[in-house]
Structure 1
Amino acid sequence: MTDTKRNRIGFIGAGRMATALAKGFLAQNATKAENMLACDVWPASREAFTKETGVECLAESLPVIQKSDVLFLAVKPQVLKEVTPEISRNSDSEQLIVSIAAGVTLSDLGRSLGDHRQLIRVMPNTPCLVGAGAAGMAASESVSAEDRQFIRGLLETVGVCHELPEKQLDVITGLSGSGPAYVFQMIEAMSDGAVMMGLQRDIALQLAAQTVLGAAKMSLETGLHPGQLKDGVTSPGGTTIAGIAALERGGFRAAVIDAVEAGTLRSQELAGNK
C-alpha cells in the first residue's frame, strides 16, 4: 500500500461488513487494532465487533468521527441520513469519508454531509473476511490520487478492487456485492443434490464448496473464458453434459442473469435513483 498520513481508521456502524473489513485489514497487517475505532447503536453489534476484531466499539459516534483520518460509513442506506448530521457538524474538511452504503451516490452523500468533498464510495463484499473480497470504488474529483490509491490498496489487502465510473457501482452491487449469496445458494443446492443421491451431508458440503473454489481459481489463474473451461470437462454423451442440460432446462443461466439485474435495480431504488 502507498504510504499515507491517514493512519487512524474509524467505522460508523459495526455490522457484518464493517467486521469483515476490520478483520481483513488486521489479518493482512494493513493496520493495527489500536489505530481503529468503531461505533454502533446496538449493544450486540458492539460486543460482536470487539470480540472478533479486538477493536474498541463505542455507543457514541462523536469520538469515532473526531479521532479518524479515514471514516468508513458502514450503515444501511436507509439509516445513513440519521448519522450524517453529526458527521457534518464534527468532521474535518480534510477527513476522508468512505461510504459502503449501497446505492447512495457521491453527490447525495456530499449534500447530506454539508458539501464535504473528500468522499469515496465503495461496494465491497463479505469474502474480504477471508482475503478474497471483490470490490468496486469511485471517488469525488477532490480526492487526491494518493488517497484513491490508499483506499484501493487497503481494499486490495483483502481481495481485489477496481476503480470505476460511479454509474457502474450499482452493477457491482448486484454482481459482487450480492453475489456471494447466490454462490452460497448454489453450494447448498449442489450438496442437497448429492445428499438426495446418497452422499452424507458433511462430505457433500465440503466437496460442493471445494468444487466452486477450484472452478473459480481455474477461471482466474488460466484467464480462459468460462465457456472454454466448461467445454474442457464436457465429454460427448457424458455425465457433465447431462448435468448442463438439466441446468439449461431449469433456466439456470437466465436466473443468475436476472439475479444480478434485480440486485442492480434494487441498489438504484435504495438511493431513489430510478
Structure 2
Amino acid sequence: MLNSKIAFIGGGNMAEGIIRGIISNEVFQPENIIVFDILSERKKYLNTTYGIVEAEDISSAVKSSDIVLVAVRPQDIEKVAQDIRNDLNENTIIISICAGIKIEKLEAIFGEKHKLVRVMPNTMIDVQHGFSAASINEKVSLSDKEIIQEILTSLGQTMFIDESLFNSFTAFSCAGPAYVMYFIAALVDAGVQSGFSRKDSIAITLENIMASALTIEKTGKHPYQITDTMTSPAGITIDGLHVLSESGFHGIVMSSVKQALKRTNELE
C-alpha cells in the first residue's frame, strides 16, 4: 500500500473505475484519496460509495496530495492547470488521462519542471485485465515510475511506451476488446446455428476463448503453431479454417486496426 495521498480532479466514470481499482487492490487507503468535481452531488456519491475524501475546492485537493490525477474533458485541462499550478510542487506527480493531450502540451500548461505522465487507461478496468499505457517526461524518476505502475496495475497490466505509439495503442489495444467481442458474438451465433442453446453456446465460446489465450501465454507459441497441431489431414478443423482463409479473415482484422489508427490520427 502506498503511503501517499492522491487527488482526483474530475470524478467521472473513468475516475471512478480507477478509484474502485486502487481501493479494491489496497493501493491507497480511502482516507488518502481526495476527489474534486464541479458537481457536488458527484463528490458526495464517491464519498458515500467508496469512503474517500470530498475536497471543498480544487486548491485544497491539490495542496495536500503527492499525486494529482487529472480526469477532465480535454477542453477543460488548461483551466484546471491555471487553477492548480500555484498549489503544485516539483515533487508532485501529475497524471493526465485526458484524451489527445500530449506531454508537450502538459509541459506547456503545467510547466516543464513538473513530473508529468500521460496515461491511456485500460478499457477493461472492471475485470482488471488488459493494458494501460503510460508515457512520461524526463522529470519522472525510476521510483516515480514504480508508483505509477502500482497505481495502474490495480486496473490490469501496465506498459510504458514512447508517446509516438499512443495513437497505435488506442487503435490496437483500447479498441481491441471490441474486435474480440465481435468475434465472440459470431462464434456464439454459430453455436446456436449448430443446435446449441444460446446459454450453452456462450459458455462454450467463452471457455474456448479463455483456454486459447491461456495456451498461448503458457506455451509462448505462435497461434499458427498451435492450430497446426489441431488440424489432421482431410479433417474437420482444416475445413473450417479454409473458409476463414478464403474470406480473408486475417487481413480483415489487420485492416480494421489500420482503419481505427487512421481515424485516431485524424482526430488528433
State the TM-score, normalizing by the size of structure 1: 0.82
Point out where structure 1 has 5 or more consecutive residues left out of the alignment. none
Whole-angstrom distance in 1 between the partners of 2:187 and 2:39:
36
- The equivalent position to 2:209 in structure 1, one of 212, 216, 238, is 212
User: For structure 1, which segment, 255-264 or 51-60, has the greater mean C-alpha deviation from structure 2 after superposition?
Assistant: 51-60
Query: Who is 1:139 aligned against?
Result: 136
Counterpart of 1:135, as a letter, is S
Query: Who is 2:122 aligned against?
Result: 125
2:92–2:114 contact (8 Å) kept in structure 1: no
Q: Secondary structure at the match of 1:152?
A: helix
- The equivalent position to 2:91 in structure 1, one of 65, 74, 94, is 94
Q: Secondary structure at the match of 1:94?
A: coil
Match runs of 1:188-207 below 5 Å: 188-207=185-204
1:129-155 Cα offsets, whole Å, 9 max, x none, are 323231222210011111012112332
2:10–2:36 contact (8 Å) kept in structure 1: yes
Counterpart of 1:9, as a letter, is I
Whole-angstrom distance in 2 between the partners of 1:162 and 1:117:
22
Corresponding residue pairs, total = 268
Quote the sequence identity (%): 30
Counterpart of 1:99, as a letter, is S
> Post-superposition shift, 1:55?
3.5
Match runs of 1:254-269 below 5 Å: 254-269=251-266
| RMSD (CA atoms) | 2.9
Q: Secondary structure at the match of 2:131?
A: strand
1:102–1:170 contact (8 Å) kept in structure 2: no
Query: Who is 1:110 aligned against?
Result: 107
Whole-angstrom distance in 1 between the partners of 2:56 and 2:192:
45
2:91–2:115 contact (8 Å) kept in structure 1: yes
Match runs of 1:1-274 below 5 Å: 7-41=4-38, 49=46, 53-56=50-53, 61-115=58-112, 117-271=114-268
Quick one: structure 1 residues 19 and 263, their matched pair in 2 at CA, closer, same or farther if it must change by over 3 Å?
farther
> Post-superposition shift, 1:12?
2.5
User: For structure 1, which segment, 113-122 or 56-65, has the greater mean C-alpha deviation from structure 2 after superposition?
Assistant: 56-65
Whole-angstrom distance in 1 between the partners of 2:188 and 2:45:
30
2:27–2:150 contact (8 Å) kept in structure 1: no
State the TM-score, normalizing by the size of structure 2: 0.84
Whole-angstrom distance in 2 between the partners of 1:230 and 1:223:
14
User: For structure 1, which segment, 160-169 or 244-253, has the greater mean C-alpha deviation from structure 2 after superposition?
Assistant: 244-253
Q: Secondary structure at the match of 2:124?
A: helix
> Post-superposition shift, 1:31?
1.8
1:40–1:59 contact (8 Å) kept in structure 2: no
Whole-angstrom distance in 1 between the partners of 2:163 and 2:134:
7
User: For structure 1, which segment, 173-182 or 157-166, has the greater mean C-alpha deviation from structure 2 after superposition?
Assistant: 157-166
Q: Secondary structure at the match of 2:181?
A: helix
1:11–1:74 contact (8 Å) kept in structure 2: yes
Q: Secondary structure at the match of 1:126?
A: coil
Counterpart of 2:103, as a letter, is L
> Post-superposition shift, 1:54?
4.4
Q: Secondary structure at the match of 2:20?
A: helix
